[in-house]
Amino acid sequence: MILFPAIDLKNGQCVRLEQGDFAKQTTFNDDPLAVAKDFEAAGATWLHVIDLDGAKDGVRANQETIRSIVEHTSLNVQVGGGIRSEADVKALLELGVNRVIVGSMAVENLNLLTSLAVAYPGKILVSLDVRDGFVTYKGWQKQSPITTLVMCRTLRRIGIDTIIYTDIATDGMMSGPNLSAYAMLKEATDLNVISSGGVRNIADLKRLQELGLSGAIVGKAIYLGHLDVKEAIICLQDESSPA
């Protein structure tokens, strides 16, 4: 299982939100590139980046910060936040981003998502941000009538093979991931599932790995010092090694 350290960008700073609430923001660092380099030095191979300005307002205010991370580290980078057009996707891929994450598009413009999945195979991930069993969109600010499993089946049909699943109730709360939701997804779909939200420590990561998830995104636990990136990566590699 891959560990994805997370950087959430707002106004060029590294921040975290609580349950997606922009009014509950904590700024952890004003130098995201330095944070990314620290993750790289600890052994991370991937970085998960969310452009919160893009998610909230559709404003691409953090492009140069993302470019700097891509150009000055060897990390594979996946980026999401307000991706609503093919132009947005192309702009990020031209920066050297490895994968682009879409969310609202899956609810609002499935035809466009279908064409993107064909045009950029392996480059498009869909983030399912779920509250009370229903998919949200517009930076978690609006709730759709679409259930998680209905959306998963639709995504698989159009050629998406990997999702990021966030249980909004656990995000940023340091309460542990929603293990039952991940177990349900692995049993009911053949999608590659990346967890997001709630991871507190290495024990949580081990539980997710045991469920067969392909990755786990971790932010707050790292910034608060509850989870060491280097130690976590070594532990996940050891757990996946043959006996």
Helices and strands per DSSP (H, E), number in the chain: 11, 12
Structure tokens at 50: 């969310």
Q: Where are the beta strands (DSSP E) in 87-214?
A: 99-102, 124-131, 134-137, 142-147, 162-167, 192-196
Per DSSP, what are the bridge partners of residue 139? Answer: none
Phi and psi of 216, rounded to 5°?
Answer: -140, 130
Structure tokens at 237: 């590699």
Residues with a catalytic annotation lie at: 8, 129
Distance CA 46, CA 6 (A): 9
Burial letters 67-105, b for 16+ CB under 10 A, else e: eebbeebebbbbbbbbbbeeebbebbeebebbbbbbbbb
Rg (CA), the chain: 16
Distance CA 83, CA 98 (A): 15
Per DSSP, what are the bridge partners of residue 135? Answer: 130
